[in-house]
Structure 1
Amino acid sequence: MTEQIKVGDQVRDFTLKDQDGNDVTLSSLRGKKVLLSFHPLAWTPICRDQMKALDDLYDRFVAKGVEPLGLSVDPIPSKKAWADSMGIRSLKLLSDFWPHGAVADSLGLFIEKHGFSGRANVLVDEEGRVQWVKVYELKTLPDFEEVLNLL
């Protein structure tokens, strides 16, 4: 496992597909902040609540110049069915499926023994550097108001 990313580190560029199969490339979002919100697995209650909350707050993040993204190791068809089942309106749910957990691992957030990422929020600045990072206990729902208050 890679050492966990910290404030000031450059985030390695990546391209992942969202729930609709569209490519999302981190470097294409330069000039705005990006919130990478990692959740372990789709179809679990806390992950559902985390992504629903982020979708509900999507417009508030965008108003502050932040593009929020949800990430997990789930494959695209699962992400699509899950997003549809939750009524996700705006949030892009990215699939870090293959190579399995590579983006999470590059940030030191992949939990090898479980085969999924930890639960974490990583705020990336306009230049692609970590501005803020918080890793949560797996059973803890992240507080997005905490993130919004930082902005």
Structure 2
Amino acid sequence: MTEIIQLGAMAPDFALVDQNGELVTLSQFKGKKVLLSWHPLAWTSVCTDQMRSLDRNADRFAEKNTVVLGLSVDPQPCKSVWARALCLKQLKILSDFNPLGAVARSYGIFSTEHGASKRANILINEVGMVIWVKKYEIRTLPDVEEVLGKL
């Protein structure tokens, strides 16, 4: 089993499409902090609450020079419909679908048992270094206040 990415490691760059079909790369956010908020699968209650909480707090993250990205292995069309159903206004949710979980694997949070990512938050600083990592139990909703406190 791959270990989760370590503090101080340089975050692997990626290119994934968001719910609008737009290509998003980690490197496009140099000079900003980036929160990668991983959720196992769309359409589940905890994942829904996690993404809505991030979207509701997007302005608070922006005030701390932080871009928030939600990620899962769901295909882009699924992410598109889910984002509309959740009424997401600011949050980009990215599809790590093809090849399945490649980015999650590069961060050490892919579960081969479930065929999806684990639930985790990974905070990356302005130069691309991992500065905070937390993995959650599958049914645990990450505390947005805790994450904001790490900024």
What's the TM-score bracket when you normalise by the shorter of the two chains?
A: over 0.9
Equivalent in the alignment of 1:141: 141
Q: CA RMSD in A?
A: 0.7
Q: Which residue of 1 aligns with 2:43?
A: 43
Instruction: Structure 1 unaligned segments of length 5 or more: list them.
Output: none
Aligned-pair CA distance for 1:6: 1.3
Unpaired segments ≥5 residues, structure 2: none
Q: Secondary structure at the match of 2:128?
A: coil
SS of the residue 1:145 aligns to: helix
- The CA deviation string for residues 63-111 of structure 1, in whole angstroms up to 9 with x for no partner, is 1000000000000110000000010000000000011001100011000
Secondary structure at the counterpart of residue 77 of structure 2: helix
Q: Aligned letter for 1:7?
A: L
SS at structure 1 position matched to 2:142? coil
Shift of 1:52: 0.3
Match of 2:96 in 1: 96
Corresponding position of 2:56? 56
1:106 matches 2:106 = yes
Query: Which amino acid counterpart does residue 43 of structure 1 have in structure 2?
Result: W
Number of equivalenced pairs:
151
Aligned to 1:46, the other structure's residue is in SS state helix
User: Matches of 1:108 and 1:25 in 2, distance apart?
Assistant: 18
Give the counterpart letter for 2:63 in structure 1. Answer: A
- What TM-score, normalized to structure 2? 0.98
Give 1:10's aligned residue: 10
Question: What is the CA distance between 1:3 and its match in structure 2?
Answer: 2.2
Using the TM superposition, give the Cα deviation of residue 149 of structure 1 relative to its aligned residue in structure 2, in angstroms.
1.1
Equivalences for residues 67-106 of structure 1 within 5 A: 67-106=67-106
Ranges of 4+ aligned residues in structure 1 off by more than 2 Å: none
Q: What is the CA–CA distance in structure 2 between the aligned matches of 1:31 and 1:89, rounded to whole Å? A: 23
**Matched AA of 1:47:** C
Q: Secondary structure at the match of 1:127?
A: coil
CA distance in 1, matches of 2:150, 2:104: 23
